[in-house]
Amino acid sequence: MSIDTSLLAGLPSLKLRAEAVVQGILSGIHKSSCQGQSVEFAEHKEYTPGDDLRHLDWKAFGKFDRYYVKRFEQETELRAILAVDASGSMAYASGAMSKLDIAATLAAALAWILIRQQDAVGLAVFRDGSMRFVPPGTGPSHLRLLLESLDSLTGQGAVSLEQMASSLAGRARNREALFVFSDFFDEAENAVRPLLALHACRHELSLFQVLDTDEISFPFDAPARFLPMEAPGEGLAVHPRDLRDSYLGLMAGFIEGLRRQALEAGCGYMKVTSSDSLDLVLRAFADQRNRAGRTSGRRI
């Protein structure tokens, strides 16, 4: 079962949306186990030569016909910070969920998964030039705090990617995993470079670029006034047909440029659109992360 945004939008709280995404992920894992695909989010990992045979889980072998070894807390502990862009541009929504709703749901589901496997998770929310920070923690009560902090976020003002990078650098310890959820819109040239520099500082960095389908396809036909979402202004009155081709070319270049810069820097990158199934997004991210070897023998 895939969990798209039209289904999630009908759920009354972020907690239920995140739980639906997590259940979709786990359901997909179980269904694909006989096909040789493994995205393991629990306290197990698939057996590899050299693992201690005393830790083989025979119940898992009986269920999945594959060998898994149990992992222990000292093997799984990870410190992670989920950074969410809550600027005005993230409030855009052509459908039932805004980009910010999607980012918050993905961050909440990822927090649920990480805390479920005994990792420490923190949260940084950026909006209107400020940051709200929840230090990394573990356990059910901390997960509730993270979900409450993410629930009912509203997009407001501008967010500078350079300031975001500086704030994260000041809060993150050595070798923390940083997951950034943003559209990465910034007027500054090469604005993403300070963020990518965090990877060079021994942090593991993964970027989730969250976009609305309108921003990718530009489906507008009638004359309209396009208003700025991150600063006051009168906007620009145009006929969409006059700028569609140039806009689509610039947007495609922007997306590809960010993807290329992230991968060249050794960081993770996922493009997320408002029409995507969010459980499939996180399963694809886990596959990408495990293949790249950024988990130090762990699965997430």
Domain membership of residue 221 (yes or no) is yes
Q: Domain span at residue 137?
A: 76-291
> What is the pLDDT tens value at each position of the chain, 300 positions in all?
567 788 898 898 999 999 999 988 877 554 444 333 333 444 555 656 655 556 666 666 566 666 666 654 444 468 999 999 999 999 999 999 999 999 999 999 999 999 988 899 999 999 998 999 999 999 999 999 999 999 989 999 999 999 999 999 999 887 899 999 999 999 888 899 999 999 888 889 999 999 999 999 999 988 888 877 777 667 778 888 889 999 999 999 999 999 999 999 999 999 999 999 999 999 999 888 877 766 544 445
Length of the chain: 300
Structure tokens at 160: 């500078």
Domain membership of residue 19 (yes or no) is no
CA nearest to 275, candidates 222, 196, 214: 214
Residue 50 confidence (pLDDT): 57
Could you give phi then psi for residue 144, rounded to 5 degrees? -60, -40
Residue 108 confidence (pLDDT): 97
- The helix or strand, by DSSP H or E, that contains position 246, with its residue range, turns out to be helix 240-264
Domain membership of residue 38 (yes or no) is no
Residue 40 confidence (pLDDT): 40
Task: Say how far apart CA 73 and CA 180 lie, in whole Å.
Answer: 25
Residue with tokens 């145009």: 238
Domain membership of residue 2 (yes or no) is no
Domain membership of residue 287 (yes or no) is yes
Residue 226 confidence (pLDDT): 84
pTM over cut 0.85: no
Domain membership of residue 48 (yes or no) is no
Domain membership of residue 43 (yes or no) is no
Could you give phi then psi for residue 105, rounded to 5 degrees? -65, -45
Task: Say how far apart CA 297 and CA 34 lie, in whole Å.
Answer: 22
Residue 82 confidence (pLDDT): 98
Domain membership of residue 175 (yes or no) is yes
Domain count, the chain: 1
Task: Say how far apart CA 273 and CA 251 lie, in whole Å.
Answer: 14
The CATH code of the domain that includes 204 is 3.40.50.410
